[in-house]
Amino acid sequence: MGLLSRISTIIRSFLNDLVNRAEDPEKILEQSVIDMQDELVQMRQAVAQAIAAMKRQEQQYLEADKQSTEWERRAMLALQKGQEDLAREALVRRKSQAETAGKLKESIDSQSGQIAVLKKNLVVLEGKIAEAKTKKEMLKARIQSAKAQENLNNMLGKVSTNSVSGVIERMEEKVLMAEAKASAAAELGMDEIENRFKQLEQSNVDEDLAALKAKMLSSSPTTPALEAGASNASVDAELEALRKELGH
Q: How confident is the model at residue 220 (pLDDT cuts 50, 70, 90)?
A: low
Q: How confident is the model at residue 151 (pLDDT cuts 50, 70, 90)?
A: confident
Chain centroid to CA 218: 101
94 three-state secondary structure: helix
Q: Please report, as a single letter, which amino acid is at residue 52.
A: A
Going by C-alpha positions, the residue among 98, 104, 76 that lies closest to residue 88 is: 76
- DSSP symbols for 30-84: HHHHHHHHHHHHHHHHHHHHHHHHHHHHHHHHHHHHHHHHHHHHHHHHHHHTT-H
Q: How confident is the model at residue 182 (pLDDT cuts 50, 70, 90)?
A: confident
> Which is higher by pLDDT, 180 or 229?
180
Q: Give residue-wise pLDDT tens across range 222-239.
A: 545 444 444 566 767 777
Distance between first and last Cα of the chain: 112
Residue positions counted in the chain: 248
**Interval 175-182 mean pLDDT:** 78
Instruction: Report the percentage of the chain scoring pLDDT > 70.
Output: 68
Instruction: Report the percentage of the chain scoring pLDDT > 90.
Output: 31
Q: Are 125 and 36 in contact (CB under 8 A)?
A: yes
62 vs 66: CA distance, rounded Å: 6
Q: Give residue-wise pLDDT tens across range 99-143.
A: 999 999 999 999 999 999 999 999 998 998 888 888 888 887 887
> Which is higher by pLDDT, 25 or 47?
47
Q: Determine what percent of the chain falls in helix, strand and coil, rounding each to the nearest 5.
A: 95, 0, 5
